[in-house]
Structure formats: C-alpha cells, structure tokens
C-alpha cells in the first residue's frame, strides 16, 4: 500500500530530528520517538534528513528545545494515545464534540441547540483538517497560488463549508446534508436571536453526534470513538399526548422556520429520510419474559430491517406530516364535492370543535402562522359528509 502523504514529519519535528542527529542518536532510535498509532514514520524519513536530501532549509532545534521535547516525551493523552502536539487537531476535534454534547445535555440551559451547533461545527472542521493534513491535501485558501492570510498574518484555513465542498471530502451524502443544514441554521443564529429550537432540531443534532463518532472511527480508528466518554442521557419525565404535541408544535422563530423549510426543499424524500441527515429513536417501554433483558430501556435496530421500517412509519412519516393553510383546506374540501364550504364555514367548524387545542394534534403554529395537518382535513370531510351546517348567526 502506498505511504500516506500525512505520514511525514512536521517542520518543528524535523528540527528536533536534526538536533538529535547532532547529539549522535542513531536513526533507528530517533524513528521510535516519532512513530505513534496515528502516524507511522519510516526510517527513510530520518535518513533523508541525515543525508541532507530533504529539509535542508530547516534549522536545527536548540539544545533547550530538544531537552524540552525529551522531558515531556511521549507527551500523549493516556486515554487515546494521541500526541498532545502532533495530534492536536484530532484532540481538539474530539474535545469540541464532547463539549457540544455535554453542553446540550446540561440541565438549566435555555439555548442548548445554538451552543451545540456552533461547537459541533468547530469539531467537524478540526476533524476534516486532520484528515486533509494526513492525506496531503492543502486546506489553505489560495489566490493565484499564493496562500491567503488573516489581517494578523496567520494563514487562512478552509471553514467547514469549503471542507465539504472539495472533491476530496470523505463524508457520505447524508452526513454532508446534515452539516450543510446545521451551517444554514448557524448563519441564522449568529445574526439573529432565537427561541425554542432545541426540540425542532433534535433529530439533526442526534444525527450529527452519531455521524461524528462514525467518521472518527472510520477515518482514524475505533480507539478514538466517543462512546466511552459520553454515557447515555437519562430524563425524569415521560410524555403524554399534550406534551408531545407541544414539543413537536413549538412556535419556531420565523427566520429559523424559513431556513429549515428552504433547506428541506432542496432534498429528495429519500435524502430527508436518511438517518445520517436526521436520526430519531423511539423510546418504547419494553416488555420481555426474559429476566436478563427486562431492564433494557431502548433498542437500536439495523436500518433496512422490518423493525426499522416499522419505526420509520411511526416516526419519519408522522413527524414530517404535510401542513396546509386554512385556504388550502377549504380548497381541498370544495374539490372533494363540497363547493359551498367557505372560509367562514371553516372558521366556525374549527371553533366548534376547538380544533386549535394543541392536545388534539390537528395543527401546528409555525412562525406565528397556524397550519393544519391532514387529519384535520379528514375531520372536515367527515363532518361535511355527516351533513354539518354552519351555526346560525
């Protein structure tokens, strides 16, 4: 297998190698100081430095720099074996995602989704920078071949959107769609205040967590997975019908609702159902005759299985139900054979049945506009079929 471009020494490491050679360390011993689980350094890399065939322009590290390197060696995170300097990007990626999840799960916070999204985007950016660095992909912004710099003189690296846009991005389409969606929401929350978006975005945030964990394992190794650091979250309540409707039907800020709708319109139905775009879990009380299984609260099922198809019917199709304006309900009723039914009749019928009561689940408030679900239209047709007439004025 061809050597990965990322299995090379950083400039600061080359300086350390030169200083070690000057102290008469043998190449084989030097090699041992710079190989680690995330990077295998071939002895030829040391020989290139010793012979001067590469890195001629790099200066030797000072005696003080070499001593400092040796004093802290191996300088690794004991839990993962990651080098605290050489693997800094991967460490930051893991810690940023851990911080995002801990923040979202913290009791008493009111802007959890906003904090999660901003921190998770940082995590994904560092993760992809780590991957591109290893694969030898230059992820700096360039103009006419010249590396662009910030006003302070630092090199400008790709933000997450550019990391996703490059043809060398290793992520699957559902993962990319999930991240593009969160980036759109981040743009909104950076420029305007928000409220009550945690519940509306939870499926996408859950997918983001699982996607990140899958990606870090696939791209770098299972030993860097996060499940050991992040235990399952527990809660103190169950949900009755009224609470469930209130959660799903939260009044979203207009700009967030618009951003979500606009993004969803760019995706096919299958892309919206992709669990890498949004992930849902059904919490169902388990009843089992086997004592060893009686305390299992949730069960993860394989996508594509009959059980998964059943969950999809319960969750995906219900949560993303079509929504209709009152005028659309009236138009559908007229087309169904009730041409005399008008907006006044619709208002009277909805008031008579207290149809806007959140507990009945007939509709939802989105951006201060009430939308009706299909089950309300079905109720209208049912009542009209029974001979309903408007109350006398």
Task: Say what the pLDDT of residue 270 is.
Answer: 78
Any residues with CB less than 8 A from the CB of 351 and at least 6 apart, and which? none
User: How far apart are the C-alpha atoms of 113 and 205, rounded to whole Å?
Assistant: 8
Task: Say what the pLDDT of residue 258 is.
Answer: 72
User: How far apart are the C-alpha atoms of 316 and 311, rounded to whole Å?
Assistant: 8
- Report the candidate in 252, 181, 171 with the shortest Cα–Cα distance to residue 212: 171
Average model confidence (pLDDT) for the chain?
81
Render pLDDT for 73-93 as a digit per residue (tens, 0 to 9).
Answer: 999 888 888 888 889 999 999
User: How far apart are the C-alpha atoms of 69 and 173, rounded to whole Å?
Assistant: 42
Render pLDDT for 103-139 as a digit per residue (tens, 0 to 9).
Answer: 888 877 778 888 999 999 999 999 999 999 999 999 9
Render pLDDT for 273-329 as a digit per residue (tens, 0 to 9).
Answer: 777 776 655 444 444 455 444 444 445 555 566 666 665 554 444 445 678 999 999
Establish how many alpha carbons lie within 13 A of residue 166's alpha carbon, considering only the half-sphere containing its beta carbon. Answer: 17
Task: Say what the pLDDT of residue 310 is.
Answer: 61
CB atoms within 10 A of CB 372: 23
* 9 Rama sector, left if φ>0, alpha if ψ -120 to 50, beta otherwise: beta
Render pLDDT for 155-185 as a digit per residue (tens, 0 to 9).
Answer: 999 999 999 999 999 999 999 999 999 999 8
Q: Please tell me the pTM assigned to this model.
A: 0.62
């Amino acid at each position: 297998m061809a050597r990965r471009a990322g299995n090379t020494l950083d400039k600061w490491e080359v300086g350390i190698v030169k200083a070690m050679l000057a102290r008469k360390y043998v190449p084989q011993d030097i090699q041992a100081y710079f190989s680690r689980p995330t990077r295998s350094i071939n002895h030829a890399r040391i020989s290139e430095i010793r012979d001067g065939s590469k890195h001629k322009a790099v200066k030797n590290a000072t005696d003080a720099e070499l001593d400092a390197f040796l004093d802290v060696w191996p300088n690794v995170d004991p839990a993962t074996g990651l080098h605290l300097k050489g693997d800094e990007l991967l460490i930051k990626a893991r810690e940023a995602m851990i911080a995002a999840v801990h923040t979202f799960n913290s009791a008493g916070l009111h802007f959890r989704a906003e904090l999660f999204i901003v921190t998770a985007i940082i995590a994904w950016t560092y993760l992809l920078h780590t991957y591109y660095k290893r694969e030898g992909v230059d992820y700096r912004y360039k103009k006419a071949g010249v590396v662009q710099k910030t006003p302070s003189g630092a090199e400008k690296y790709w933000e997450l959107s550019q990391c996703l846009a490059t043809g060398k991005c290793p992520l699957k389409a559902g993962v990319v769609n999930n991240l593009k969606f969160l980036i759109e929401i981040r743009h909104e929350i950076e420029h305007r205040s928000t409220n009550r978006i945690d519940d509306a975005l939870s499926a996408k945030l859950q997918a983001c967590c699982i996607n990140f964990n899958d990606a870090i394992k696939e791209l770098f190794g299972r030993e860097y997975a996060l499940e050991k650091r992040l235990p399952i979250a527990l809660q103190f309540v169950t949900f009755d019908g009224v609470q469930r409707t209130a959660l799903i039907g939260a009044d979203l800020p207009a700009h967030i609702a618009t951003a979500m709708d606009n993004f969803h319109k760019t995706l096919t139905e299958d892309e919206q159902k992709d669990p890498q775009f949004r992930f849902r879990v059904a919490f169902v009380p388990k009843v089992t005759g086997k004592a060893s299984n009686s305390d299992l609260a949730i069960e993860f099922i394989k996508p594509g299985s009959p059980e998964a198809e059943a969950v999809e019917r319960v969750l995906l199709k219900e949560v993303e139900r079509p929504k209709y304006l009152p005028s659309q309900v009236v138009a559908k009723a007229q087309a169904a054979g009730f041409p005399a039914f008008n907006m006044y009749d619709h208002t009277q019928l909805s008031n008579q049945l207290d149809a806007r009561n959140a507990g009945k689940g007939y509709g939802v408030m989105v951006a201060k506009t009430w939308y009706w679900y299909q089950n309300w239209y079905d109720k209208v047709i049912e009542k009209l079929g029974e001979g309903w007439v408007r109350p006398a004025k």
